[in-house]
Amino acid sequence: MAKTRVLFLCTGNTARSQMAEGLLRKYAGDQFEVHSAGLEPGVIHPLTIQVLEEAGIDASEHYSKGLTFYLSRMRFGYLITVCDQADKNCPVFPGMGVRLHWHFEDPAAGEGSDAEKLARFRQVRDQIDAQVCAWLAEQSVPSRVAIQEA
């Protein structure tokens, strides 16, 4: 049986969509084929890799991909935008199933000390974690223990 493909989309594919990809793959990678992309791909933020490692996810091989990488290559059961700009500017293209929008603040956008920046990344990671687990429950897919409970 083929896995349902899920694409998480953000502006740069440097933080939120990478977190969502890693978390969904961790919890239900046996049931979903998970990808992420950005409208304007950049370089994955080092704190993204750090907070994913804290959650037991090795993101050292992750890299930022543009949406055009997937256009006409794959069909997705779900397109989930994780930032408002991606939701507003994402084109509609053939082969896209259900489109959802999950709003999360950009953890890289704020100023502050290194500790404050890391705290923002952890907060967004935990929000994405909760949303992924809630979505899996709606899909009747049992997920593994959430980060907050681990």
Any idea what the CATH number is for the domain that residue 55 is in? 3.40.50.2300
Kindly tell me if the per-residue pLDDT of 34 is higher than 60: yes
Cα 124 from Cα 104, distance rounded (Å):
7
Task: Write down the pTM of the prediction.
Answer: 0.90
Q: Using one digit for the tens of pLDDT, what is the confidence trace for 92-127?
A: 766 678 999 999 999 999 889 999 999 999 999 999
**What H or E segment, with its residue span, contains residue 99?**
strand 96-101
Residue 91's domain spans which residues?
4-149
Total count of domains within the chain: 1
Alpha carbon distances (Å) from 125 to 29, 63, 88, 95, 116: 18, 18, 22, 29, 14
What pLDDT, on a 0 to 100 scale, did the predictor assign at position 87?
A: 87
Cα 82 from Cα 88, distance rounded (Å):
11
Residues classed as catalytic: 10, 83, 90
